[in-house]
Amino acid sequence: MITVHHLENSRSQRVLWLLEELGLPYAVRRYERDEKTMLAPPQLRRVHPLGKSPAIVDDEEEAQGSPRTVAETGAIIEYLTDKAGGRLGPPAEREEALRYRHFLHYAEGSLMPPLLVGLVLGRVPLFGRAARKRLQPMIDVHLDFVERELAGRQWFAGDAFTAADVMMSFPLEAAHARAGLGGSRPATMAWLERIHARPAYQAALASGGPYRYA
């Protein structure tokens, strides 16, 4: 059994979604953020030294005599697709496989950092609002890039849904909520509608509890 250590309103919602898509059995241990700092609770350090979510514990596999713990969303995504025999992993066609790997890493490596900076600045009166105006053009470069990519195909890797779409969900939902993603980018908005309509996505919401970006 896989246990997902799931923090509310966080990247770990993607892990629940992928597990539902793959049909792998799992259990959820939920954690709430500190109401003042919005940080993860210290109990998560008992799961992984960094005290971050998501993290999973797989009782079916051991590492150094204990059930295997995997942290970092991208690493968990790759671990789960491998565990499922490659389902929703890299496509067989080379160009699609390269796009898959690009977006699997782009989601956290390039797209999420400016969105996170915008979130932090949004909590700073006066100076934060001015700084966010300067940050928005940087975010727009990413949103325009994503729009161009999705204008020619339904999913990020190609014509079929993959785990790359799961990875891209959180930053684009965050961008829709607070960073200017809207009707001026119809291909991206249509992609959001498609993922939100998937039964596995809806099942993951029911499993994970309230999720601000859904």
Q: Nearest CA to 19 among 115, 97, 83?
A: 83
**Domain CATH number, residue 162:** 1.20.1050.10
The answer on 79 and 23 residing in a single domain is: yes
> Is residue 175 one of the residues assigned to a domain?
yes
Determine the pLDDT at residue 126: 60
Domain count for the chain: 2
State how far the Cα of 70 lies from the Cα of 4, in Å rounded to an integer. Answer: 10
The answer on 204 and 184 residing in a single domain is: no
> Is residue 214 one of the residues assigned to a domain?
no
Report helix angle 163-178 to 112-121, nearest 10.
30
The answer on 124 and 52 residing in a single domain is: no
The answer on 179 and 98 residing in a single domain is: yes
**Domain CATH number, residue 36:** 3.40.30.10
DSSP 59-94: EEEEETTEEEEEESHHHHHHHHHHHTTTTTSS-SSH
What is the value of pTM for the model shown?
Answer: 0.92
Tell me the per-residue pLDDT of 147-201, one tens digit each, with 9 for 90 and over. 999 999 999 999 999 999 999 999 999 999 989 999 999 999 999 999 999 999 9
Peptide bond into 54 cis (omega under 30): yes
* Residue 38 clears pLDDT 90, i.e. is over it: no
The answer on 109 and 64 residing in a single domain is: no
pLDDT above 70 covers a percentage of the chain that reads 93
Q: Give the structural domain span for 60.
A: 2-88+200-208
Q: What letters, b where the CB count within 10 A reaches 16 and e where it falls short, cover 4-38?
A: bbbbbbbbbbbbbbbbbbbeeebebeebeeeeeee
